[in-house]
Amino acid sequence: MIYLDFNATTPIDSEVQKTICTSLNEAWGNPSSSYDTGKHAKSVIEDARRKVAEMIGSAPHEVIFTSGGTESNQMVISTACKNFHLEVESGLDLKIPHIITSQIEHDSIRIPLEKLVEERKAEVTFVSVCKSTGIINVDDIMKEIKPNTCLITLMLANNETGVIQPVQQLRPKLKVHKSASLCTILLHTDAAQALGKIEVDVDTLDIDYLTIVGHKFYGPRIGALYTKHMKPLYPLFWGGGQERNFRPGTENTPMIAGLGKAADLVTLNLEKYNQHMSAMCSYLVKVLKKCFKPKSVIVHFFKENRLPNTLSVAFDYECTGAAILAKAKNIGASTGSACHSGIGRPSEVLINSGIPADLAAKTIRLSVGRETTKEDINKAVKILHNAVKRVTFPLKL
């Protein structure tokens, strides 16, 4: 199989795998224990914390390990709501919190917010992105601020289109904007798709929280949450005092060690990774346009500021993206987010990004990786070409 779905998940890097195995053998002690095996496990965790912090330009104590992106995102949402109520108790005459986000967020943001609205525990404004660029206008976010606004959460890069969002503009706009909010507005970005592909620096972004997902950059399926020093953070559940009481439960030392190694590889090799993926992505576009009829292959937002590895490609024939992939048995790709695989309808993210529904239904997401080759791409495009011929027969390509 030729794998072109690296935005869904990545294989574990061989060096990360070695680190995990070494930790399984040598750092098996309980990190909370006071004797040597526990102390060793604790040192492995702290070394990984330092490496994750270095990857994003933060201090180590600002990194909390979690089970993954979903937990990290929901911890931020829960914290913002709790912090709002604490401020209300301090004298603000407000009833429920208000959160601002975009219409193109991942389900781990969108669905929890929709549940809060359904349960009447929060107000949420979903701001649309520009239909021609897929990029949100930060001024549109500022216009939605209310007296009870407590959180703005905006993904750093979209998992389907690859479009990078102007997260770094949020803080400067807030500083000059005459805010209507009477409570603290916290800033969060889900950086799951950006890490390992583009530079991510928390000081440049100037946000309060940032979500980290290991399996998106060749690490294990755990995550972390960056929380800016002195900003509020409240646990989702309670137990032992692990992770400074923010994330109870005996630490998963081997996976944390693996996450640290994956982060270290990003810190050391990001420029090389970026250049290779960008070159392979450009080559993929070139081969697609050469192989298919002129104007029958439409690459969404290809000229915009986007991830170096991601293409959202519509095949403008009388067939759907799902039908093409059903015939392209030897290609690992998707019609959008892996979370929506098999739902049988066009991606809401694409439609909310301004892609017409009929064209969204014909779209496939192709995302290259660190070791994708031109040979892989040549084979993949040939398979896609044959698949389109099979599903559109007797139409001519």
Please give the Cα distance from 382 to 156 (Å, whole number).
33
Q: Say whether 339 is catalytic.
A: yes
* Residue of 94, 54, 4, 65 lying closest to 381 (CA atoms): 4
Rounded to 10 deg, the angle between the 253-291 and 36-56 helix axes is: 30
Please give the Cα distance from 313 to 298 (Å, whole number).
6
Checking if the pLDDT of 350 tops 60, the result is: yes
130-149 pLDDT per residue, tens: 999 999 999 999 999 999 99
For residue 48, the model assigns a pLDDT of 98
Please give the Cα distance from 73 to 115 (Å, whole number).
14
Tokens of 295: 């104007």
Q: What single-letter amino acid sits at 219?
A: G
Checking if the pLDDT of 91 tops 90, the result is: no
For residue 179, the model assigns a pLDDT of 66
Per-residue pLDDT, averaged over 274-303, amounts to: 95
What is the sign of the dihedral through the CA atoms of 372, 376, 378 and 381?
negative
Checking if the pLDDT of 393 tops 80, the result is: no
For residue 89, the model assigns a pLDDT of 72
**pLDDT band, residue 92 (cuts 50/70/90):** low
Please give the Cα distance from 315 to 192 (Å, whole number).
27
**pLDDT band, residue 337 (cuts 50/70/90):** low
Residues 6+ apart with CB under 8 A from 46: 60
Checking if the pLDDT of 181 tops 80, the result is: no
Checking if the pLDDT of 197 tops 60, the result is: yes
Judged by DSSP in three states, 80 sits in helix
How many other C-beta atoms are found inside a 10 Å radius of the C-beta of residue 269? Answer: 13
How many other C-beta atoms are found inside a 10 Å radius of the C-beta of residue 175? Answer: 9
Checking if the pLDDT of 17 tops 90, the result is: yes
Please give the Cα distance from 49 to 260 (Å, whole number).
6
Checking if the pLDDT of 339 tops 90, the result is: no
Strands laid side by side in the 363-367 sheet: 297-299, 310-315, 363-367
Checking if the pLDDT of 75 tops 80, the result is: yes
Kindly name the residue from 21, 183, 319, 339 that is annotated as catalytic.
Answer: 339
Per-residue pLDDT, averaged over 1-29, amounts to: 97
Q: What single-letter amino acid sits at 12?
A: I
Per-residue pLDDT, averaged over 240-268, amounts to: 96
Residues 6+ apart with CB under 8 A from 106: 69, 73, 155, 159, 190, 192, 337, 339
For residue 94, the model assigns a pLDDT of 79
pTM of the model: 0.95
Please give the Cα distance from 211 to 193 (Å, whole number).
10
